[in-house]
Amino acid sequence: MALVEIRDVHKSFQRDTQTVEVYVGLDVDFEDGSFTALMGPSGSGKSTLLNLIAGLDRPTSGAVRVAGAEVSALNAAQLAVWRARHIGFVFQSYNLLPVLTAYQNVELPLLLAPLSKKERRERVTVALGVVGLEDRMDHYPRQLSGGQEQRTAIARAIVADPTLILLDEPTGQLDAKSSQEVLKLLRRLNDEFRKTIIIVTHDAHAAEQAKAVLHLEKGVLVERQGTPA
C-alpha cells in the first residue's frame, strides 16, 4: 500500500529572469513500512522532494498525497496540524536549540499537543531511550557529540509517533563511527518499529542500510534499485 503518492508533479523556481525546472511530471510511490534512500547529484531535486512530501513546499502543479491527505491542497493551518501528526523531519544541520537541553529539544513538538506534563515526559523518555540517550537528556547541544546531536534530532522527530520520517543528509556531518550508529538506529526504527523512512544522501554506505534506492538525475527518476533487506 502506497503511503506517499507523487502524481504528475511539476516544480519550477524563478531565478532572476530564468525559470528553473526541477520536476516535469514526476511520478513515484513510497510504500507503507518502506525504507528508501534518495540519491543523485546536487541539484537533482532530492531535498525538494522531501520538502514537497512534508508540505514545506508546494508543487507548481500535480498532486502530493501522504497518508490519505492531498498535502498540496491543504492551507497553512491544516498543514500545521497534519504535519504535527504525520511528519518527523530531521534536518542536515540538526536544528537543535542551543539554549534547551536534549530533553527540552525533544519535548518541543509535544508542547502544542493536548498532553499532560507527565504524558510528555513519558514520551520524551521513551524517544530518548530508543536513540540511546537516556543519560544525556539534561545535556545541552554544545555538550553532545555530533552523533549524539543527530540522535537527539531523530528522537525529536519520532517523539510524536509520526507516520513518516524524513531525513536530509543524516550522516553528512558525522564521522564514520557516528554515521554507523545513526544508520543502525534508522534500520531499527524501520525493522522493529515499522516506521516508513525516506532519506536523502550522497553516501553510498548510508544508502546500503535502506531497502530501496531511488536515483534522481535532473528531476527525473533514472533508476530504481532494490537492496538486500
3-state per-residue secondary structure call for the chain: CEEEEEEEEEEEEEECCEEEEEEEEEEEEEECCCEEEEECCCCCCHHHHHHHHCCCCCCCEEEEEECCEEHHHCCHHHHHHHHHHHEEEECCCCCCCCCCCHHHHHHHHHCCCCCCHHHHHHHHHHHHHHCCCHHHCCCCHHHCCHHHHHHHHHHHHHCCCCCEEEEECCCCCCCHHHHHHHHHHHHHHHHCCCCEEEEECCCHHHHHHCCEEEEEECCEEEEEEECCC
Please give the Cα distance from 62 to 28 (Å, whole number): 12
Q: What is the mean pLDDT of the chain?
A: 91
Q: Whole-prediction pTM value?
A: 0.90
- In this structure, the number of other CB atoms found within 10 A of the CB of residue 228 comes to 5
The two most distant CA atoms of the chain are separated, in Å, by 54
The pLDDT of residue 72: 85
Domain region containing 11? 2-226
What CATH number did the domain enclosing 133 receive?
Answer: 3.40.50.300
* Radius of gyration, alpha carbons of the chain: 17
Q: Is the pLDDT of residue 82 over 50?
A: yes
Q: Is the pLDDT of residue 167 over 60?
A: yes
Q: Is the pLDDT of residue 201 over 60?
A: yes
Structure-model confidence comparison of residues 222 and 120, the more confident one? 120
The pLDDT of residue 1: 78
8 Å CB contact between 211 and 34: yes
The pLDDT of residue 228: 44
Mean predicted confidence (pLDDT) in 7-29: 90
The pLDDT of residue 225: 53
8 Å CB contact between 100 and 143: no
- In this structure, the number of other CB atoms found within 10 A of the CB of residue 126 comes to 14
The pLDDT of residue 42: 85
Give the count of domains, the chain.
Answer: 1
Structure-model confidence comparison of residues 221 and 159, the more confident one? 159
The pLDDT of residue 229: 44
Mean predicted confidence (pLDDT) in 60-71: 94
Percent of the chain exceeding pLDDT 90 equals 70
Of 36, 89, 91, the C-alpha closest to 216 is 36
Best mean pLDDT range from 15-24, 119-128, 199-208? 119-128
Please give the Cα distance from 58 to 108 (Å, whole number): 25
- In this structure, the number of other CB atoms found within 10 A of the CB of residue 7 comes to 16
